[in-house]
Amino acid sequence: MRVLSGIKPSGELHIGNYFGAIKQLVEFINTTDDEVIVMIADLHAITVYQDPQYLKERIYELAALYFASGIDYNKAIVFVQSDNPDHPYLAWLFDTVTPYGWLTRMTQFKDKRQKLKNYGDIVSVGLFNYPVLMAADILIYDTDLVPVGEDQVQHVELTRDIAKRFNKLYGDTFKVPEYKINKTTARIMDLQVPTRKMSKSEESTLGCVFMLDPIDVIVQKFKKAVTDSGHEIKFDKQNKPGISNLMAILSAASGKSLKQIEEEYEGVSYARFKQDVAEAVVEVLRPIQRKAKEFLADPSQVDAILHEGAERARELSYPKLLEVLNKMGLYHHG
Ligand code: ADP
Ligand code: TRP
């Protein structure tokens, strides 16, 4: 079975990304017999403007943090989307079989368009076309399974429709993929506003712990985390969102159950508890940071891994692209 996972390099990674996505992907790759393709979706990132220097840094950082988190890049194929031109090529071909109306129904597009309009930014054709490129990413590898967040389900459903439509028009060519919704076992909330999920925010980053934050910054962020009235360490999302979030983080970082934590911290002060949460997170991040910094200090090593990944990816995608060109009656030599 072939599994494809795509990640957008559009922001700095935080512990929500780590406990909610990266850790699970690493565990999956390291325990499965399936063939796993991990794509850094930079062509999707630029559907809203990215500063070129910032984007390039994010791509390296994403790769370094994933490798440092334990992704076995000899086993999985890890590459950058823009390093395989077969994707945007197939996306163009798919553009010609995708009804305009299908794309106007995409809720992510509608949401993002509204946000951009509110900021007075342009809404690019690329943003509209985003799901067609995603269909190309998936279908070009005859992918069986796509693990996605809830927000991407509609795009995979569109991908299935595009595959079926192409197959009907030009003969059986593409596998119709399944998707699996990532379970959100660890939904990490903002340390300052624990009713909102942790996310890279423009105004304040005090509530967001980035994977590459210096250790003393991480400790400070936990020290300043908002808690709740009372003084009990008890899991109660409704009435104690701050403490419950810190407990969830401690649980994700230490492997201890919420019940265990409640018992262990009976009678312990909030201040002391927060210190322990910080320590547990630091313990997880310290070795990852150390390895990530080694990768970032040696970009040629990262390049070599990504280059090898792109070559392996292209060996799979190019024959498929040729098959499609043939079926559509298009010209190519060789
Ligand atoms: P967002 O979901 O905020 O747009 P990304 O798209 O960069 O962030 O998320 C990448 C992955 O990290 C997704 O699988 C998403 O579910 C996960 N993730 C992001 N934020 C959190 C969070 N606060 N808690 C748990 N998982 C998260
Ligand atoms: N659009 C996905 C996201 O924002 C990223 C992505 C691009 C992707 N191509 C993909 C995910 C192919 C799965 C398969 O998260």
pLDDT digits (tens, 9 = 90+) for 256-283: 999 999 999 999 999 999 999 999 999 9
pLDDT tens-place string over residues 199-238: 886 677 999 999 999 999 999 999 999 999 999 999 999 9
Ligand nearest to the CA of 8: 2
Structural domains for the chain: 2-186+299-328 (3.40.50.620), 215-293 (1.10.240.10)
Per the listing, tokens 């990530």 go with 292
Q: Is the pLDDT of residue 120 over 70?
A: yes
Q: What is the DSSP string of 126-173?
A: HHHHHHHHHHHHHHTTT-SEEEE-GGGHHHHHHHHHHHHHHHHHH-S-
pLDDT of residue 200: 80
The answer to whether 44 touches 9, Cβ cutoff 8 Å, is no
For residues 163 and 176, give the distance between their C-alpha atoms in angstroms, rounded to a whole number: 6
Q: Which is it for the CA torsion 286, 281, 12, 301, positive or negative?
A: positive
Tokens matching residue 228: 């709740």
For ligand 1, whether the C-beta of 20 sits within 6 Å is yes
In a mutational test of the pocket of ligand 1, which residue from 17, 62, 65, 192 has the highest number of ligand atoms less than 8 Å from its CB?
17
pLDDT of residue 184: 65
Residues 6+ apart with CB under 8 A from 92: none
pLDDT of residue 113: 96
Ligand 1, atom 3: nearest CA belongs to which residue?
199
Q: How far is the CA of 197 from the centre of ligand 2 (A)?
A: 20
Strands, E, within the chain: which ranges?
2-7, 35-40, 77-80, 145-148, 178-181
The answer to whether 121 touches 154, Cβ cutoff 8 Å, is no
Q: Name the amino acid, one letter, at 234.
A: K
249: confidence class by pLDDT, cuts 50, 70, 90: very high
Q: What is the mean pLDDT of residues 101-127?
A: 96
For residues 50 and 170, give the distance between their C-alpha atoms in angstroms, rounded to a whole number: 37
10: confidence class by pLDDT, cuts 50, 70, 90: confident
In a mutational test of the pocket of ligand 2, which residue from 17, 28, 38, 39 has the highest number of ligand atoms less than 8 Å from its CB?
39
pLDDT tens-place string over residues 279-299: 999 999 999 999 999 999 999
For ligand 2, whether the C-beta of 44 sits within 6 Å is yes
Ligand 1, atom 6: nearest CA belongs to which residue?
8
pLDDT of residue 334: 66
pLDDT of residue 185: 66
pLDDT of residue 182: 82
Tokens matching residue 210: 């980035």
Q: Which is it for the CA torsion 170, 174, 180, 181, positive or negative?
A: negative
What percent of the chain has a predicted confidence (pLDDT) above 70? Answer: 99
For ligand 2, whether the C-beta of 62 sits within 6 Å is no
* 199 φ/ψ angles, rounded to the nearest 5 degrees: -160, 150
Average pLDDT taken over every residue of the chain: 96
Q: Is the pLDDT of residue 149 over 90?
A: no
Whether 56 is a known active-site residue: answer: no
pLDDT of residue 204: 78
In a mutational test of the pocket of ligand 2, which residue from 137, 184, 317 has the highest number of ligand atoms less than 8 Å from its CB?
137
pLDDT tens-place string over residues 304-332: 999 999 999 999 999 999 999 999 999 99
pLDDT tens-place string over residues 164-199: 999 999 999 999 999 999 876 678 999 999 999 998
Ligand nearest to the CA of 184: 1
pLDDT of residue 331: 95
Whether 200 is a known active-site residue: answer: yes
For ligand 1, whether the C-beta of 17 sits within 6 Å is yes
For ligand 1, whether the C-beta of 186 sits within 6 Å is yes
pLDDT of residue 29: 94
Ligand nearest to the CA of 23: 1
The residue annotated as part of the active site, out of 197, 256, 291, 327, is 197
Q: How far is the CA of 33 from the centre of ligand 2 (A)?
A: 22
Residues 6+ apart with CB under 8 A from 207: 190, 191, 192, 193, 198, 201, 221, 225
pLDDT tens-place string over residues 51-83: 999 999 999 999 999 999 999 999 999 999 999
Q: What is the mean pLDDT of residues 126-140?
A: 98
Q: What is the mean pLDDT of residues 19-37?
A: 93
For residues 230 and 232, give the distance between their C-alpha atoms in angstroms, rounded to a whole number: 6
Q: What is the mean pLDDT of residues 38-44?
A: 98
pLDDT of residue 202: 62
